[in-house]
Structure 1
Amino acid sequence: MARVSAELIAAFRKTIIKLKNNAPYQWGHMGACNCGNLAQEITQLSKAEIHQYAMEKHGDWNDQLVDYCPTSGYPMDLMISKMLDAGLTLDELKHLERLSDPKILAHIPVEKRLHLKKNNKEDVILYLETWTLILENEWVKQFDKNLMDFDEKNISSKVFA
């Protein structure tokens, strides 16, 4: 699962809000598709810039993720690197474009899960909302663990043992 951070969760939330408020969505457009919309929030690039960078190489998001090389110097690879730095993985991005991550799908009711379409904005929103809830739950678990570790370190009988 993604490396959880407040910034990553915020990027997801902003992407969801924009999509719900009629942000451009077009699955065949590298800057306005599933990954493209999230990339806009993480990289602060416009859909046009993302699409322009993507056209310097061949293929859709999945192809470019397979061909990703962090040292190529291609703007698309630099953009993917920024998304990875934000906490995402290559596999998660591949799954996002196809709405296919089993860990996320497991949290979507079967009747909806069986009818998800990778190029349907409402389905993308559902997928992103579900993923965001998973990330937020993970964030809370990490926070709770950190608090428990802090409590353990501050128990005087253990500190002075």
Structure 2
Amino acid sequence: MAHPNVELIAALRETARRLKNGAPYAWGNHGTCNCGNLLQVITNLDKDEILHYAQTGVGEWTELAEDYCVVSNAPIALLITRLTEKGLTPTDIHNIEYLQDKEVLERLPGGFRWLKRNQRDDVVAYLDSFANLLEDKLLQQIEIPYQQLMQQERLTYC
């Protein structure tokens, strides 16, 4: 599962917002598919630049994510690296492309259901649910030192 962090959560939400508002979408195009749209947000590259870089590798985002090498200077490796730097794993990249992570699907509005990878509304629902899941996980990691705060408060009022 992805490493929850504010930047990744914001990128997922921004991608969903853009898709909801009519951003170009075509599942069969590396520049405008599920991961392509997310990369547009993360990298500030446009769909044509992403498509150009993606064509230096072979396969869909799933295969590209599994095959990339972090020491390679291949342009596709740069895109995959940008996704992993934001906290995604190759499995997350696969799941974003195919909308398959069951933990995310369980958090869909209305409950668990299978989504279609090439349906804009399904992608939006998945990305929003993924962002919500990561936000909840991030909030669970925050520890508030109540004892220390209470001691400081007592010292302030004494």
Q: Within 1, Cα distance between the matches of 2:98 and 2:148?
A: 45
Mean alpha-carbon deviation: is it higher for 24-33 or for 37-46? 37-46
Are 1:34 and 2:34 an aligned pair? yes
Residues 92-107 of structure 1: pairs in structure 2 closer than 5 A: 92-107=92-107
Could you say which residue in structure 2 is the equivalent of 1:133? 132
Residue 42 of structure 1 deviates from its aligned partner by 1.2
Identity of aligned residues (%): 40
In structure 2, give the amino acid aligned to 1:14: E
In structure 2, give the amino acid aligned to 1:47: K
Could you say which residue in structure 2 is the equivalent of 1:151? 146
Could you say which residue in structure 1 is the equivalent of 2:156? none
Gaps of 5+ in 2: 152-158
Q: Is the 8 Å Cα contact of residues 10 and 131 (structure 2) preserved in structure 1?
A: no
Are 1:7 and 2:2 an aligned pair? no
How many pairs align? 150
Q: Is the 8 Å Cα contact of residues 30 and 36 (structure 2) preserved in structure 1?
A: yes
Residues 19-30 of structure 1: pairs in structure 2 closer than 5 A: 19-30=19-30
Q: Within 2, Cα distance between the matches of 1:63 and 1:131?
A: 21
Q: Is the 8 Å Cα contact of residues 62 and 90 (structure 2) preserved in structure 1?
A: no
Residue 81 of structure 1 deviates from its aligned partner by 0.8
TM-score by length of 1: 0.86
Residues 55-66 of structure 1: pairs in structure 2 closer than 5 A: 55-66=55-66
Q: Within 2, Cα distance between the matches of 1:44 and 1:12?
A: 14
Cα deviations by residue, 1:55-102 (Å, 9 ceiling, x for unpaired): 112111111112111111111111111111111111011111111112
Evaluate the alpha carbon distance shift between residue 96 and residue 152 of structure 1 in structure 2; reply closer, same or farther with a 3 A threshold: same
4+ residue runs over 6 A deviation: none
Q: Within 1, Cα distance between the matches of 2:96 and 2:61?
A: 10
Partner SS state of residue 8, structure 2:
helix
Gaps of 5+ in 1: 157-161
Could you say which residue in structure 2 is the equivalent of 1:68? 68
After superposition, the CA RMSD in angstroms is 1.7
Q: Is the 8 Å Cα contact of residues 117 and 123 (structure 2) preserved in structure 1?
A: yes
In structure 2, give the amino acid aligned to 1:28: G
Q: Within 2, Cα distance between the matches of 1:82 and 1:152?
A: 40
Residue 105 of structure 1 deviates from its aligned partner by 1.6
In structure 2, give the amino acid aligned to 1:11: A
